[in-house]
Amino acid sequence: MGIYTQLNHKNYKKLKSIAEIAKNEIIDSLSSTLEENNMLNKVDFIESRIKAYNSLINKMKYKEYELTSKSMLKNINDFIGIRFVCKNINDVYSLVKCINKTRKLKI
C-alpha cells in the first residue's frame, strides 16, 4: 500500500494495524519518561484509541480533505488518541510539563 492510495475500509485496516503498533510504542515511551522522572505514580490509568473508520471519513469529508491515506496522514492529527488520567489537575499539569520537555510529542 503506497501512501497515495484511496482511503477505503481495506486500506484503513492496514493503517490501523500500523497505528496500533505506534500507539503502543508511544505509550511505552511516555511511561518510561514518566517513570524516569518519578511521575508515573501520578497516573491512575491510561486510555487509548485509534480513530474509527466512519469517524475518520466523516471528519475528512467535513473538513473537505481528499479521501486518501496521504491526506489523512498530513491533516488528521488525532488518528491516535492517548489519555493519561490523573487524580488531580496539578498532576495533569506536571505530566504535561514533563512530556513537553521530551519534545517528542505535541500536547
* Confidence band, pLDDT 50/70/90 cuts, at residue 6: confident
Which cell numbers in the block locate residue 23?
A: 500507539
Side-chain-facing half-sphere of 24: CA atoms under 13 Å: 5
Q: 79: how many CB neighbours lie within 10 A of its CB?
A: 19
Over residues 25-37, mean pLDDT: 92
| pTM of the entire predicted model | 0.83
Q: Which residue has the higher pLDDT, 66 or 102?
A: 66
Give the mean pLDDT of the chain. 90
* Confidence band, pLDDT 50/70/90 cuts, at residue 21: very high
